[in-house]
Every structure is written in C-alpha cells, then in structure tokens.
Chains A and B, each alone.
Chain A
Amino acid sequence: MVSRPIYFIGTVLIMAFSYVFFLTFFNEGQPNKMPIAVVDMDNSSLSRQFTRNLEATQQAKIVVQLNSHKEAREEMQRGNIYAFVEIQKNFSRKVISNHRPTLTFYVNDAYLIAGSLILKDLSYMSVATSAAMQRKVLRAKGLEENRIMGIIQPIVLDTHLIGNPWANYGTYLLNVILPGVLQLMVLMMTIFAVGVEFKERTSHEWLEMGNNSMFSSLTGKLLPYTVIFTAIGIIGDMLLFRYMHYPLNANIGWMFLATFMLVVASQSIGILLIGVTPVLRDGVTLGGFFGMLGVTFAGSTFPIEQMPYGTRIFSYLFPIHHFFNIYVNQALNGVSIRYSLIAFITLLSFTILPFFVYNRLKNAAINQNYPIK
C-alpha cells in the first residue's frame, strides 16, 4: 500500500485538500458586500441620501456610480456588478410634490445566489425607507407611537430556520459535498486496490495470502482502507461540528457511526463494480460515473422530491443519500434516532452486494481471464 504515491494521494491528500479548500472557501458564511452600481439620474440631495442608505446594507456594496441604464447593463454583462439601482429623473421633485416616484432594482439572476440575496437586501432597505417616511407623516398627524407601528407594519413575519439559525451557506453545502468526495474516493480506491491485482496479474499471490479464500483476501486488503477512510471521515465530522460549530442537535456519535457506515457501504459498491467487470480501467470509469452522480443524488442542492419521479428510486442506490437523511434527521432536526433507523439499515444492507460477485471475483483471480487493458 505504501509502494506507490497514488495510495497516499488517493486517501489522505485528496481528502485533506478538500477539507482545507471547502472550509477556507466558505468561511464568510454568506457572501457580503457584493458589488452593485447606482444610476442616479436625479442627482438631488434626496437621491444622494437614498444612495447613502444603500451603503448600509450588509450584502451589497456600491462600487460605482453610472450615468445611464445602458452603461449599467454593460457593466453587468461584464460581470463587474451583480445589480444596479436606477433612480429616475425628478425623483426628489416627485417625493416633495407627493407623486410617488418609483425605484427600480435590476439584479442579475444568472448568478442566482448573488442576485436573490442582493434583491432581498435592497427590498428590505427600501421598505425600511418607506416606513421611515410614513412614520414622519403619521407623527405629524399626531398619532400614538403604537398605532403608528400597527399601520406601518400590521403583520410581522417571524422566520425560523429549523436547525440552521444563521442561514450559513457553507452548512448547506459542506455536509453534502465532503461526504460526497469521501464516497467518491472510497469507491475509487476500493476499485483500484482490487483491480490492480488483476491488471498486474498478481491475483494468485493475493489469493494465496488469504489462504485461497476470497473472503479473507478481500477483508485483508480493504480493512486498512476502512480504518483510514473512517478516521478521515470522523476528522471531517469533528471539523464541521466542533471546529466550525455547524448545527448539531444530536449526539455526534451518530454522525461518526453514519460516516463509518458510509465508508463500508461505498466499499461494498466498489467491490460490486470491480466484480461486475474485473478490468481495472472499466471499474474505475464505472466508479467515477457513480461517484460523481452521488453528489447530485444526495438531495441537497436540488431536492430529490422535485426531480422527475423515476430518479427518486435511483437515489436509493447511493449510500450518500441515506447518509444525508441521517444528517438531516439527527444533526439538523435533532429528532429521535428511530427516524433514522431505516437509513442505517439500508446503509448496512449495502454490505450484501459483494456476495453477488463473490464467485465471479474468485474465478477472475484464479483464471486471470480478463484483459489487462
């Protein structure tokens, strides 16, 4: 195992790189101070006041003042700004003469996350500005303070996010992507470790080491990977839940157990794939295909429920889908462990898969009747 650099890179290095990358990439939690522009065609003290108010928003930052809609649109097409605010001519005159001037926010939804976060911020800002103006008018009329609030905002919406009170973007992604990379690498390394024996025609020696029992040969070969990948996965859990303090509403032990079972289930699929085609190169291709789809099928980026009906059944084939369910139930929602029982049992049942290809693998190891390339 230590003989070739690929073993070390494929287990430790890639996982370490992924942890470092994703943890440093999303350290902000939410994208703040994204660049926007203002097209102020009024250029009055009131419009400048409004522009200053915009500066106070958390997620948008005015980086440039432009003179026309066309200029602003082109700046957007260049990707220098994600949104622009257009203040029309006669803005202040209309406010003073009670003519309701309108404001327009153009946001770039081709960058959906940037666009929707900025729009939310800008809308909030202008509602607040309107409310302030309204309060002034109502105070002038001599209304009591609590009646004024009842008029300005009769219904308040109180938003609760179950489990992730900070709406941290990293939380949504890392709990899927990092196990996704883990699943992919476990698959690849399992397929490689077994397949290379066929490719290098060393399967006889390998089988002899296990006293001609495929079972002990496989166990002997793959157990070190189980240990290493589980350890790496648990370090990952610790990083997310302890170091980054991502939401964890259950005993972290359940996440450790889920991580361990994710590793074992992925190994089982790896054995199945290399058993179906005991040719290293085809095994690696199959494993890569399966592993990459896994991230999509976990069901976080786009909910599985809303995908075409057939794909829902497909998603059960991926260990990470069940891992993700355990994560949602335990870490996010903190519900009783019995709700995750099915997910745990399904993960466990993946270990049956290698037995389907047991004879096939053994014959391939003895006869070496598959092409090496």
Chain B
Amino acid sequence: MNILKQRYSSNKFLSFFRDTLAVIKIEFRTMFKDRGVVIMLVLAPLAYPIIYCSLYQNETLIDVPVAAVDCSRSQQSRELLRHIDATQNVQITCKYGTLAEAKQAFVEKKVHGVVYIPADFSKKLSTGNQTTVSMYSDISSFMYYRIISQACSNSVQAMSNQIQLERLNSNGITGEAATISAIPIPYYGVPLYNEGAGFASFLMPAILIIIIQQTLFLGIGMIAGTSREENRFHVLVASAVHRGRTLRVIVGKSICYLLLYATWSFFILGVIPHSFNLPHIGISLDIVKFMLPFLLSVIFFSMTVSVFLPNRETGMMLFLFFSLILIFISGVSWPQSNINGFWKAFAWIFPSTCGVQGYIKINSMGADINHISFEYVSLWIQTALYFATTCWAYRWQIKKSSNNSLKEMELLRDL
C-alpha cells in the first residue's frame, strides 16, 4: 500500500515536471515566432535603456548662454561677471547696454538668462551701501532655472564675502575677528549619492526599472491577447496545452519569463550603469536577491491583468501611457513623503513602486537588503498576492475553455 502511494506521488511529481517543461517549451516557441513579441520582450528592453541613456548622457547643463547688462561698467562689475562666466554651467555670451536689448536676445532664444548690474553698483559698493544685482532666468525647463540661479548666487555670495571682510576691516574689526564676525557659523552642504547633481544619475535608475516592468507587462499582454484571438473559444489557454492542470501552465509560463528577464536584468542593471557611468555602488548579490521578487511580482501581476485583455493590441493601446504615471508615483522626482495618501496607496498596487525605491536605495545609495526590508517584503507579498490572483484567473479561463469544448462536443453528438 505504502509503496503504491509512493509510486503514485513520484509519478505525479514527474508528470508535473514533464508538463511544466512542455509549457516552457511551447511558450518559448510562441514568443520567438511572433515578431511583435520579440520586439517587445527582446528588442525594447535592450534598446530603450541605450536610447534614454544616450539622450541624457550630459548629466548637467554646460555653458548655458546668458546675457549681461552691465550699466556700471566698473572694475567690480566686470569682476562679478567674470566670476559668473567662470562657472562650469553658465557662460556669458553677449553683453548689452540696456535690459530691453537683452530681453530681445532672450525672446530670440539666443540666451536663457540675463544678469543685470545697475549703474550705481560700484558707487554703492565704494560708499559702503547695499546694492542689488538682478537675474532673469528662462523657466521653460526646471534645469535652466536651477543652473542659472545657482551660478549667480554662488558668484554673488563669493564677492559679497570678500567685500564684507573689507568693510569689517575698515570698521576696525580685523584679522581672525573679521572672519568670525563675517561668518560666525560656516556651513558645508554635502550632497550624497549623486555628487555631481547629475540628471541621468537621478532619473535613469528609475527609468530602467520601469522599462523592465512595462516591456514585460506589455509583452505578456500581447502573448495573452494573441492566444485569445487565435483560440476558437476566445479564452486564454487552449485546452490542448493545459490538459486541465492550471498550476503547470502558470509555473511553466512564469519560469519562461523569469529566465528571459533575469538575463535582461543583468544587462539593464549590470552592464548599462557601468557603461553609461550611472551610480552603481550597490552590492550585486543584494540586487539579485531583490530582483527575484520584483520580477516574479511583475510576472504574476501581468499574467493576472492579461486575462482581461481581449486583443493583441489592447495592452499597448491602453497601458503604454501608464509608464509616465508609474515614474511619478514611484516617488523619485516628486518625493514619496509628499505624495498624498490616495495616490500612495494606488502606487503600492504596482511592483514598480517598490522596485524603483528598492533598486535606487541599493544601487545608488549603497543600502543593503536589511535597509530596504519594507520594499523587499512588500514585493514578496505582491508576489504571493498576484500569484493567487493569477491562479484564480487562469482557473476561470481554463474552466471556461473546457466548458466550451464540452458544449461543442455535446452539440456535435446531438447533430
């Protein structure tokens, strides 16, 4: 009796293994036979990171053209302008006599900012008064504003400090006392994890994770939509494939996607950051550990949603725009602490939110897996949750398909 039971169970295990293997084989074949799927699951995840990285390869703005209106024409005003011109980010490309001329140059997009030094600049400085320098900045892009205002305020600050010391000296405060009086508490701003304040270093890690999720999601949606169209009963899984065993289909398919995307993840998160000089201070093993639940939750999430996609194109049509929304709700550009409760809860539905946060924390900020336990556990919870919903959705589809074929059989018999 015991022996019989054992043999039965080992047989069951063997048949599970064999069926799963068959599903993997079929899935790989359908994937690579279909040009659209190949584009989505092979070409896109390899091409997109390269395209975006090359577009954003200049981490910061260099020598943004700015006009100067120097009404003071003094040695001090020229010194200030030299200071501004010497910064890496801003270059004074032209000088005008009046503000109106400079604004005209701005309108014609010759310059992105204007520095205006009033006529009484040096007079006020020599008489010990306060003087004002004006700066006008293009704000068509946040970057222009940040770069120009930074360059101007640093230069003004440096010159101010120098004048301050001179004035203290002339008021009888000299030497060390003057320095202490001028800046009693000096401060240092230390930027961490993105020392150059680079745009690509900041945004690209998030984009890479979103590319992984979205191509995988759209690819799985495309495969599901296609098999639905080709299937006589408009269901997801043909009965010939599953033979009534839901779990084998799900396990087989997900292994297939996981194998493919494990390879792409190595390329996207391993090779790309190195070759484009993005942050990569993370522990590789932790990234691998973290990517496993991320990929699994994306796969099961996609498989669940794919059940509801009636056609091959539906996923692309309706969910591509969502990539933009995913970037914002992942809390990289607009800080996560300032996302309101509703959207924060909404964001948690998608694996990319925890995926982006966790990856940036490990890869850009050098956190280890213990620091990101929230994201790590969340992704495992999502994996379990979406695995359950996938089972439920697939069982529903498979039942529908068997019912349909049963009905057809009965119909034939009645004839």
Residues of A at the B interface (CB closer than 8 Å) are: 6, 9-10, 14, 18, 21-22, 24-26, 28, 31-35, 74, 76-79, 82, 95, 98, 100-116, 119, 122-123, 126, 129-130, 133-134, 137-138, 141, 143, 146-147, 149-164, 167, 169, 171-172, 177, 180-181, 184-185, 188-189, 192, 280-282, 284-285, 288-289, 291-293, 295-296, 299-303, 306-308, 311, 324, 328-329, 332-333, 335, 339, 373
CB distance from B107 to the nearest CB of A (A): 5
Whether A109 contacts B129 by the Cβ 8 Å rule is: no
A21 CA / B322 CA spacing, docked (Å): 11
CB distance from A278 to the nearest CB of B (A): 14
Q: With a CB–CB cut-off of 8 A, which chain B residues contact A280? A: 313
Q: With a CB–CB cut-off of 8 A, which chain A residues contact B39? A: 285
CB distance from B176 to the nearest CB of A (A): 8
Whether B191 contacts A109 by the Cβ 8 Å rule is: yes
Q: With a CB–CB cut-off of 8 A, which chain A residues contact B185? A: 95, 100-103, 126, 129-130, 133
Whether A161 contacts B324 by the Cβ 8 Å rule is: no
Contacts A157-B153, A160-B135 known; A109 to B192 CB distance under 8 Å?
yes
Whether B131 contacts A156 by the Cβ 8 Å rule is: yes
CB distance from B115 to the nearest CB of A (A): 9
CB distance from A169 to the nearest CB of B (A): 7
Q: Which of A141, A150, A291 contacts B128 (CB 8 A)?
A: A150
Q: With a CB–CB cut-off of 8 A, which chain A residues contact B180? A: 98, 100
Question: Sorted from nearest, which 10 A-B pairs have the closest CB atoms?
Answer: A109-B194, A77-B367, A112-B202, A110-B193, A114-B335, A154-B163, A109-B191, A31-B338, A103-B187, A110-B364
Whether A79 contacts B357 by the Cβ 8 Å rule is: yes
Q: Which residue of A lies closest to B172 (CB)?
A: A141
Q: Which of B133, B139, B140, B153 contacts A167 (CB 8 A)?
A: B139
Q: With a CB–CB cut-off of 8 A, which chain B residues contact A169? A: 142, 334
Contact with A along B175-188 (1 / 0, CB 8 A): 01101111111111
A311 CA / B339 CA spacing, docked (Å): 34
Q: With a CB–CB cut-off of 8 A, which chain A residues contact B51? A: 293
From A26, A116, A141, residue with most partner B Cβ within 10 Å: A116
CB distance from B194 to the nearest CB of A (A): 4
Contacts A113-B334, A154-B130, A285-B39 known; A100 to B179 CB distance under 8 Å?
yes
**Complex interface residues of chain B between 194 and 224 (CB less than 8 A to chain A):** 194-195, 197-199, 201-203, 205, 222
A241 CA / B169 CA spacing, docked (Å): 53
Q: With a CB–CB cut-off of 8 A, which chain B residues contact A130? A: 183-185
A373 CA / B227 CA spacing, docked (Å): 11
Q: Which of B138, B186, B314, B320 contacts A102 (CB 8 A)?
A: B186
A335 CA / B179 CA spacing, docked (Å): 48
Interface residue? B106 (CB, 8 A): yes
Q: Which residue of A lies closest to B103 (CB)?
A: A162
Q: With a CB–CB cut-off of 8 A, which chain A residues contact B371? A: 74, 77-78
**Complex interface residues of chain B between 55 and 71 (CB less than 8 A to chain A):** 55-58, 61-62, 64
Whether B141 contacts A301 by the Cβ 8 Å rule is: yes
Q: Which residue of A lies closest to B225 (CB)?
A: A281
A sample of 18 cross-chain residue pairs with beta-carbon separation below 8 angstroms, ordered by A number, consists of A26-B334, A79-B372, A110-B193, A110-B365, A113-B334, A115-B197, A133-B184, A146-B129, A147-B171, A150-B130, A157-B153, A159-B153, A167-B145, A188-B317, A192-B313, A307-B55, A308-B55, A373-B226
Whether B199 contacts A112 by the Cβ 8 Å rule is: yes
A161 CA / B58 CA spacing, docked (Å): 24
**Complex interface residues of chain B between 311 and 325 (CB less than 8 A to chain A):** 311-314, 316-318, 320-321, 323-325
Interface residue? B389 (CB, 8 A): no
From A74, A114, A181, residue with most partner B Cβ within 10 Å: A114
Given A113-B333, A333-B106; 18 other pairs, CB 8 A cutoff: A77-B365, A82-B337, A102-B187, A103-B188, A115-B194, A119-B191, A146-B129, A147-B171, A150-B129, A155-B132, A160-B135, A162-B137, A291-B320, A303-B61, A303-B143, A307-B55, A373-B226, A373-B229
Q: Which residue of A lies closest to B117 (CB)?
A: A155
Q: With a CB–CB cut-off of 8 A, which chain A residues contact B57? A: 308
Q: Which residue of B lies closest to A100 (CB)?
A: B180
Q: Which residue of A lies closest to B334 (CB)?
A: A31
Q: With a CB–CB cut-off of 8 A, which chain A residues contact B365? A: 76-77, 108, 110
Whether A110 contacts B145 by the Cβ 8 Å rule is: no
Whether A31 contacts B189 by the Cβ 8 Å rule is: no
Whether B189 contacts A154 by the Cβ 8 Å rule is: no
Interface residue? B164 (CB, 8 A): yes
Q: Which residue of B lies closest to A28 (CB)?
A: B338
Whether A76 contacts B320 by the Cβ 8 Å rule is: no
Q: With a CB–CB cut-off of 8 A, which chain B residues contact A167? A: 139, 145
Contacts A155-B132, A333-B107 known; A78 to B367 CB distance under 8 Å?
yes
Whether A100 contacts B183 by the Cβ 8 Å rule is: yes
Q: Which of B106, B190, B338 contacts A107 (CB 8 A)?
A: B190
Q: Which of A164, A180, A281 contacts B312 (CB 8 A)?
A: A281
Whether A35 contacts B337 by the Cβ 8 Å rule is: yes
Q: With a CB–CB cut-off of 8 A, which chain A residues contact B366? A: 77
Interface residue? B174 (CB, 8 A): no
A300 CA / B51 CA spacing, docked (Å): 17
Q: With a CB–CB cut-off of 8 A, which chain A residues contact B189? A: 105, 107, 119, 122-123
A279 CA / B146 CA spacing, docked (Å): 46
A295 CA / B332 CA spacing, docked (Å): 18
Contacts A78-B361, A288-B320 known; A155 to B334 CB distance under 8 Å?
no
Whether A116 contacts B332 by the Cβ 8 Å rule is: no
Interface residue? B409 (CB, 8 A): no
Whether A154 contacts B160 by the Cβ 8 Å rule is: yes
Whether A110 contacts B279 by the Cβ 8 Å rule is: yes
Whether B336 contacts A79 by the Cβ 8 Å rule is: yes
A56 CA / B121 CA spacing, docked (Å): 33
Q: Which of A10, A302, A373 contacts B56 (CB 8 A)?
A: A302
Q: With a CB–CB cut-off of 8 A, which chain A residues contact B364? A: 110
CB distance from A82 to the nearest CB of B (A): 6
Whether B318 contacts A104 by the Cβ 8 Å rule is: no
Q: With a CB–CB cut-off of 8 A, which chain A residues contact B177? A: 98
CB distance from B113 to the nearest CB of A (A): 9
CB distance from B81 to the nearest CB of A (A): 13
CB distance from A330 to the nearest CB of B (A): 12
Q: With a CB–CB cut-off of 8 A, which chain A residues contact B190? A: 104-107
Q: With a CB–CB cut-off of 8 A, which chain A residues contact B132? A: 155-158
